[in-house]
Structures are given as structure tokens and as C-alpha cells.
Structure 1
Amino acid sequence: MTFADLGLSDELLRAVETAGYTEPTPIQAQAIPQVHMMKDLIAVAQTGTGKTASFVLPMIDILSHGRRRARMPRSLILEPTRELAMQVAENFEKYGANHDLKLALLIGGVQMGDQVRALDEGVDVLIATPGRLMDLFERGKILLTGCELLVIDEADRMLDMGFIPDIEFICEKLPTTRQTLLFSATMPGPIKKLADRFLTSPKYIEVARPATANINITQFKVAVTARKKQDVLRSLLLKEDVQTGIIFANRKTTVRDLNKNLRRLGFASGEIHGDMDQASRMAELALFKAGKINLLVASDVAARGLDIKGVSHVFNYDTPWHPDDYIHRIGRTGRAGATGRAFTFVAGEDAEAIANVEKLTGLKIPVFTLDDAAEQVETAPALPAAPAEVEKPAREDRPRRSEGRTRRGEQRRDQPRKAEAAAEERIRPEPPQEAPRAPAPERSQRVEPAPRRHYPADPPSLPGEWNGPVPGFLGISAL
């Protein structure tokens, strides 16, 4: 089967051929005719099967007839993340190159003024995340009464992120006669309830069992310890001759540290995580798509929505906490019929997490041994070594704890005293110069004190004079 067999227009077929595609994937072959017939659709398909093109292509043909009006988009596509919204916008630009269609992208982290101006000029396709769309709707900047077609993409991810109430609110504001397409990798109860409420006699398509991994991806698990993860990753990057790869970690701090170490080792790597602003994320993705960096270290913010052609390898540096995230992580490779390889590092504490992954996928992931990579580790540039441990002295040579505490205590007590003494020494003034003293006389030359005089106890009284005894310290004679 070819795309021409699906009833696409000649202009659209030329754009598809220019993009390098000749045969539709199973989800595209089943979904495109249903969308062309204006039927509601529920499509359960794993990531990487080409489901984005399965609604983008027929939408372009449908919207090619009609005119746009200010603040009233003709169609609406809801996406859970900014990255996925941008990816869908790129698909519209690529496949709609031969059509006069205008689209607007409503996502957070972008100036709202530019988005409002685009809406005022009128758009055929509005691609939005629920949060930003709700914000503009409450401000009165957008009207949904003219929307003819609604796409809810990655519905299970919407459920995980808590967007279902927003989606219900948006659906209530749309015309009841619209066409609704719902795409999801899994079909949990809340999503089925949502579909029953807002879709009318939908056509149900399932191209693979829910939560199964792409058969084009060769999967391995690697037993490692937490301290050896970087060495094992370096070995695999060299052994596998990775051309383009994505490395997933559970924590943003791990993403940053790992990217720094890879760059220090000479790898062309970049990073993307939730702490980065939208402009920085877009810049890193642009470098990765352009081939200026061939390794992208990412948190789960990038696990969904990245459709980058030619990703040959995915490395789960950390085993994902949720088994659904495993499916979406490794789905970045093996896309559009290509093959890929996925390696998951499993430490001792990850036993339960990897067991949940194998239970969900129904696949016993084979163990990858690193014997063949031993030489690679030896010849590869070494990672920054940890500080060497100081050899401990024998027990009899070690100071007793009490002695060590005593000496340390004395040192602590002496430190302020020494500091005070040094300060006092710096500020103490110079003592005044004393005049030279005369040499003391020799013992033989010393003058003997005069004999103490004795006065009569009761001297004669004189008129007007002191008639009492004269104290000896006055040193005067009695009258």
C-alpha cells in the first residue's frame, strides 16, 4: 500500500514524498481513511508508530477548503507538553508546504502577545497545551464556537498530568457537531469514560497491544552498581558506535552532572530538563536535530513528543520509576520502521521497577554482558577519579579517641589565646624610654640614717603655740 491509495491530494502526496516517506505505517493506513470520512476515532497505538501523521495528513486535506476567521480557529489539537506541541507544528509545516494553511502554537514559556496577534489574524490549526489555552479563553482572547475538528493526543499522558478536567471544560465549549479524534498509547478507565462522553459512535483502531514495546527496538538490561554507571555508559558509547542517542535519567541534577562529565570526556552532548526555560530547550533540540551534538541527556520531560529521525540508541541511565515511562523513553528510537537499540541500567534498588516494566510489556528483557567491552573501558579516557583513600594506620599506631579529643580540645583552646596574644603584640605601644639611673652606691659608702630624735612627752606650753607632742614625721625640733 502507498499513500496514494489512501486518497490524499496530489499536493499532499508531493510533500510526503519530499519528506522521504513512501509507504504508510499500519496506524496511518487504518486511521487516514476514517478521518477523511469525517468519523470520530479512537486510536490506541504505541509511540513511534507514526500516529502524528495519521491525523496531520488528513487534516491538511480537510482544512484546505474553507476560510479562517479572527479568534475562531477552525481546528484544535491538544497536546500534554510543549515539546510535543512543537513537534506537531513541525509536521504541519512539513506536510502542508503546498497548502495555504495558517497555524498558531499556544504553549507556555512564549510571549502571549505574539500568540494573541496570530489568533487575531485567524488560524486554520490551533495547537495548544491545556493550560495556556484555558488562560487565553478566560481572558476572552479566543472563541471555540467555530472549531470543526478536535484532536486529543497522548490522552493517557493528559490523565497522568491532571489535565482531564481542563479537557472536559474545553470539550463543553466546542460545537457538538464537531469531529473528534482521540489518540492514546493505553486505554485506562478514565480515558474510556472521557471517550464515551465526548465522542459519537467512534471507530476503534488498535495497532498493537497496549503498553507493548516496538518490535523494531532491541532491548537489553545491564546489571550495574550506582558507582559504575558512568564507566559502563562510556564503555557502551564506544562499543556501540552510537551515532545519535538519547540518555534518560530520573533526576534533573543527574542530567546536569552527567552532561558535564560527557563533555569533559570529549563527547558532543547536550541536556534538556524541566529547569530550563523554553528558549534553552528549543536551542538544545535544534542542535541535536542539526547533528551538532549527537548525545542528548534528558529527563522525562523529553520522553514523549520527540520525533527525531535517526536516533539509533536510547540509554536508560536510571531505570524509570513508572513502567509506562519505559515504553515512551525507548520509543524515541526505532521510529517509522527503523531499527534501534535500548539499554536500561539496573542497580540493586531497581529490581522492583524493572520487574514492573517486564510485567507491563510482557517481555523478559535479556541481560547484556559487558565482557566484550572490557578492553574499551581500559583504553577509554578515564572519568574524573574519586579522591584516593588514605591508608589507615595499624590499630596499635592509632591515637586513642580520648587522646585525640584532648589534643584537639587543647588546640581549640589555645587558638583564641594565641590569636589574642598576636593581636595584642601588634597593637601594644612602645614603652617610654626611662632616664638612666645613677649607679647605686657601694655598701661601704652608704650614708647611715640620722638617729631618731626623741622629744619630751610634755613640752612647756607657750601662748598661741602648739602645745601637744610633735609627730616624728614632721622632722622639726620642738620649741
Structure 2
Amino acid sequence: MLFTDFHFESYIQEALNDLGFREPTAVQEKLIPVIRSGRDLAGESQTGSGKTHTFLLPIFEKLDTETAAVQALITVPSRELAYQIFQAAKQIADHAEADIRIANYVGGTDKMRQLEKLKASQPHIVIGTPGRIYDLVQSGALAIHKTRTFVVDEADMTLDMGFLATVDKIAAVLPQKVQILVFSATIPQKLQPFLRKYLTNPVIETIVSDAVIADSIDNWLISTKGRDKKTQILEITKALTPYLAVIFVNTKERAEDLHAYLTGNGLKAAKLHGGIAPRERKRIMNQVKKLEFDYIVATDLAARGIDIEGISHVINDSIPQDLSFFIHRVGRTGRNGLPGIAITLYQPDDDSDIRELEKMGIRFVPKILKNGQFQETYDRDRRLHRRPSHQRLDTEMIGLVKKKKKKIKPGYKKKIQWKADEKRRKERRAAARAQSRSKRKAKKQQF
């Protein structure tokens, strides 16, 4: 299928051509027709699947530019993500002949200036964080009573960051016939009450991918072997030639420490974490877009909050405490079918987390850095894959075997063999009885 098959208005198609978008992603192909039909929607798909244009394109398609009112409202959990969606929306609007007004309302920006602009005119599309949007609605400056489409993007992150209550207040002010679209990487149980409260007969769609992370990503696992990770990351950077690499850490303290170490060793590296002031963060992001850095040291705020084009590598300094964030981290690279490399450092304490990630469908390729080159190495579980040479014997059986090896009276060997065989028979009968009891118990529970 091609985007031209949707028969969007000419300016929307021009915007897609300008981006080089020819074929829709699986999410876009499946969900754009649902949104066009006017149905409420809860869409679940992995990071980097093209969700932003999935809702933006139908929103632009039904805009009435002659009506000076808010017609689409999009809430997101972070300032960075709001800015990314705002830029994507502006790119489409720039191809239209009509004046399409798009506003970006987030915390840390000039509220008084926003209030003054709202007195002059209302935007057609509003994008922003729940707190600032609700402030403007409460003040009476932002009128959302004519909104046609309400989008809650990254709903699971909105929930995790404690913003869902504010989104609830915003939804309560919207008109009854508003179309509500909820997009999320996962739809946790705690999100269900919100969906039941506001969505009317929704289409609930999960876009299943054959791979949890994109096929275009090489997912490597490198053992630290007890070495200092800062030194090892520096060695890894010397073996890479990234367009842009993101190094993910678990705390802002670690981000500060690692950033100081890398810059002290001559790397062009930025840092992004929750302790950086909004104005400083905006300045850093502008520098990143101008390719003034080769590396960004970031906490998980950046894993879900930014969408930088052209990230060629992701390096995990450590495995995130919330394992679901691993997918979001790795998903920063390999976007739009481009190749990417994700490198995760691990130590023996991480083994249980690695196994949990593998249960989620994530596959790792074990690697080693040797003489400045990445080389494939052995599977860390190679011992588990060996065939056992013999079964472990219990204490009683070991005693019988030892007795059998000694010089004994005629006929005693047969007696020992009989006892060993009898022991095995008893164990088999006990196992069979236990299995039978389990089946009877399960059958009773059915009734």
C-alpha cells in the first residue's frame, strides 16, 4: 500500500512527499481508516511505529480553517515530545495555502505571553503537556468546547508520571461528541478506568510486530567482565563512528559523572536529564539538531520524551530498572527502516533481567570488543545447553552404588540391583499419583 491510496488533500500528500514517506507503516495502514471513520480508539504499538502521523494526518484532513476554534487537542507527558509533535504538525501546515494555527503549550514557557495571544485568536490545533493546557483552560483563555478530536499520546508514560488525573480534568471539559484517540506503547490495567469512562464503543487495536524491536536494529550484549564501565564505554566510542549516539543511564548523578568523564577525554557529548532547566534543555536540543555533538548522555526521560532524527547507536550503560524502558531506549535508533546498533553492557547481577527481556521476545547477539573491533563471542548460557553426563543421584542411591562396587557375597549384587530398581519404581508411581491429583484438582476448579 502507498500513502497515495489514502487520497489525502494535495497539501497533505505534498508534506508526505517532502518527508520521503511513500509507504505507511503497519500502524498507519491499519489505524488511519479507523480514525477517519470517527470511532474512538485505543491503539497499542511499539515505539517508532509511526503513531504521530497516524493521528496527525486525519486531524489535518478534517480541519475547518475558516472556523477560529480549537478543533484538535493533543496531550503528551513531556515537553520534548510536545515539541517533536509540534514540529511534525508545522511541517504539514507549511504546505497548506490556508493559515493553520498550531500552538505548543508546555510548562517552563511564558504563560502570560500565551494568554495574550489567546485573546487575539484561538489555535486550530493544540499540542502540549496536561498541566499547562489545563491551566489555560481553567483561566478561560483556551476554549476547547468545540474540539472534535482529543488525542492522549504515550498514555502509559502519562500514567507513570502522574499526569492522568489532569488529563481526566481536561477530558471532562470537552464536548460529548468528541472523538478520543489513546495511543500507547502498552496499555496497563491502571489505564482501563480512564478508557471505560471516556471512550464510547472504542476500537481497541494492538499492532503486533514479529520483533519486539525493529528488524533494522542490531542488538548486542557485551559483558563488563568486572571492569569499570566508564572505561569500557570510552573504548566502545573509539570503535564507533556514529552519526549520533545516545548513552542511556539510570540516574541523573550517573549522567553527570559519565558526561564529565567522556568530555574530559575529548568526546563531543551533551547531557539530558530531569535536573536540567527547561531553557538549558532547549538550547542543548538545538545544538543536537545542528549536529554539534556525537553523543548524548541521557536518563530515561529522554528515552520516551525525545525523537531525534538520525540516531545511529544506542548504548545502555546499565539495564533500566523498569524493563519496559529497554524497548523505548533501543527504539530510539533504527527508525523509518534505517539501520541502527544497540549495545548493552551487562554484569552477572543483570542475568535475571536479561532473561526477563528475552522472555519478552528480545534477542541479543553476544559480542566482545577486541583490538578495537567488535567480534561475536560465546553464548553466556553455553553451560546450560550442554547435555548432562548423568542424572544426579539421591543419597540413598549413591550408598547402594558404592556398596555395589565393593567385593561382596554371591547374590548380593542382585539384591542391590533390585533395591535400586524398586526405588526408581516407587518414584515413578509417586510422580504418577501427583500428576493424577493435579488433574482432578484442575477438573474440580473448572466446575
Same fold (TM over 0.5): yes
- Distance change in 2, residues 1:142/1:65 (3 Å): closer
Aligned residues of 1:130 and 1:167 also touching (Cα < 8 A): yes
- The match for 1:371 is 370
- Distance change in 2, residues 1:211/1:169 (3 Å): farther
- The match for 2:112 is 113
CA shift for structure 1 position 252: 0.8
1:84 partnered with 2:81: yes
Aligned residues of 2:245 and 2:294 also touching (Cα < 8 A): yes
Q: Secondary structure at the match of 2:86?
A: helix
- What is the CA deviation profile of residues 206-248 of structure 1, one whole-angstrom value per residue up to 9, with x for unaligned ones? 2225992223222122211675212221222222322211111
- The match for 2:327 is 327
Q: Distance in 2 between matches of 1:364 and 1:293?
A: 30
CA shift for structure 1 position 375: 10
- The match for 1:57 is 57
Aligned residues of 2:269 and 2:297 also touching (Cα < 8 A): yes
- Equivalences for residues 124-203 of structure 1 within 5 A: 124-203=124-203
Give the AA of the match of 1:21. Answer: F
Q: Distance in 1 between matches of 2:197 and 2:7?
A: 30
- Equivalences for residues 19-418 of structure 1 within 5 A: 19-69=19-69, 73-99=70-96, 100-120=99-119, 121-208=121-208, 212-224=212-224, 227-359=227-359, 361-373=360-372
- Distance change in 2, residues 1:296/1:362 (3 Å): same
* Gap regions ≥5 residues in structure 1: 377-479
- What is the CA deviation profile of residues 60-80 of structure 1, one whole-angstrom value per residue up to 9, with x for unaligned ones? 1211444114xxx22110101
* Gap regions ≥5 residues in structure 2: 376-447
CA shift for structure 1 position 40: 1.7
CA shift for structure 1 position 24: 1.4
Give the AA of the match of 1:233. Answer: I
CA shift for structure 1 position 275: 1.0
- What is the CA deviation profile of residues 130-165 of structure 1, one whole-angstrom value per residue up to 9, with x for unaligned ones? 122222333333332121110010111111112222
CA shift for structure 1 position 324: 1.1
Structure 1 vs Structure 2: percent identity of aligned residues? 32
Task: Provide TM-score, normalisation by structure 2.
Answer: 0.78
Query: Does 201-210 or 261-270 show the bigger shift?
Result: 201-210
Aligned residues of 2:219 and 2:363 also touching (Cα < 8 A): no
Give the AA of the match of 1:113. Answer: M
CA shift for structure 1 position 123: 0.4
CA shift for structure 1 position 88: 0.5
Give the AA of the match of 2:334. Answer: G
Task: Provide TM-score, normalisation by structure 1.
Answer: 0.73
CA shift for structure 1 position 335: 1.0
- Distance change in 2, residues 1:319/1:375 (3 Å): closer
Aligned residues of 2:106 and 2:128 also touching (Cα < 8 A): yes
CA shift for structure 1 position 166: 1.8
Aligned residues of 1:268 and 1:295 also touching (Cα < 8 A): yes
CA shift for structure 1 position 273: 1.0
Aligned residues of 1:270 and 1:295 also touching (Cα < 8 A): yes
- What is the CA deviation profile of residues 412-460 of structure 1, one whole-angstrom value per residue up to 9, with x for unaligned ones? xxxxxxxxxxxxxxxxxxxxxxxxxxxxxxxxxxxxxxxxxxxxxxxxx
Q: Distance in 2 between matches of 1:53 and 1:146?
A: 23
Q: Secondary structure at the match of 2:368?
A: coil
CA shift for structure 1 position 122: 0.9
CA shift for structure 1 position 20: 2.2
Q: Secondary structure at the match of 1:370?
A: strand
Give the AA of the match of 2:236. Answer: L
**RMSD, aligned α-carbons:** 2.1
Q: Secondary structure at the match of 2:194?
A: helix
Aligned residues of 1:211 and 1:327 also touching (Cα < 8 A): no
Q: Distance in 2 between matches of 1:195 and 1:107?
A: 24
Aligned residues of 1:76 and 1:127 also touching (Cα < 8 A): yes
CA shift for structure 1 position 205: 2.7
CA shift for structure 1 position 114: 2.0
Q: Distance in 2 between matches of 1:159 and 1:326?
A: 18
- State which structure, 1 or 2, has the greater radius of gyration over its C-alpha atoms: 1
- The match for 1:452 is none
- The match for 2:407 is none
1:18 partnered with 2:15: no
- Distance change in 2, residues 1:79/1:37 (3 Å): same
Query: Does 209-218 or 151-160 show the bigger shift?
Result: 209-218
- Distance change in 2, residues 1:237/1:64 (3 Å): farther
Q: Secondary structure at the match of 2:243?
A: coil
- Equivalences for residues 420-459 of structure 1 within 5 A: none
Q: Secondary structure at the match of 1:318?
A: coil
CA shift for structure 1 position 303: 0.7
Q: Secondary structure at the match of 1:214?
A: coil
Query: Does 178-187 or 261-270 show the bigger shift?
Result: 261-270
- Distance change in 2, residues 1:241/1:254 (3 Å): same
- Paired residues, what number? 372
Q: Secondary structure at the match of 2:335?
A: coil
Query: Does 101-110 or 361-370 show the bigger shift?
Result: 361-370
Q: Distance in 1 between matches of 2:278 and 2:227?
A: 33
- What is the CA deviation profile of residues 10-61 of structure 1, one whole-angstrom value per residue up to 9, with x for unaligned ones? 1111111112222211111122222222222221111111111111122112
Aligned residues of 2:93 and 2:100 also touching (Cα < 8 A): yes
Q: Distance in 1 between matches of 2:227 and 2:108?
A: 36
Q: Distance in 2 between matches of 1:294 and 1:50?
A: 25
Query: Does 335-344 or 363-372 show the bigger shift?
Result: 363-372
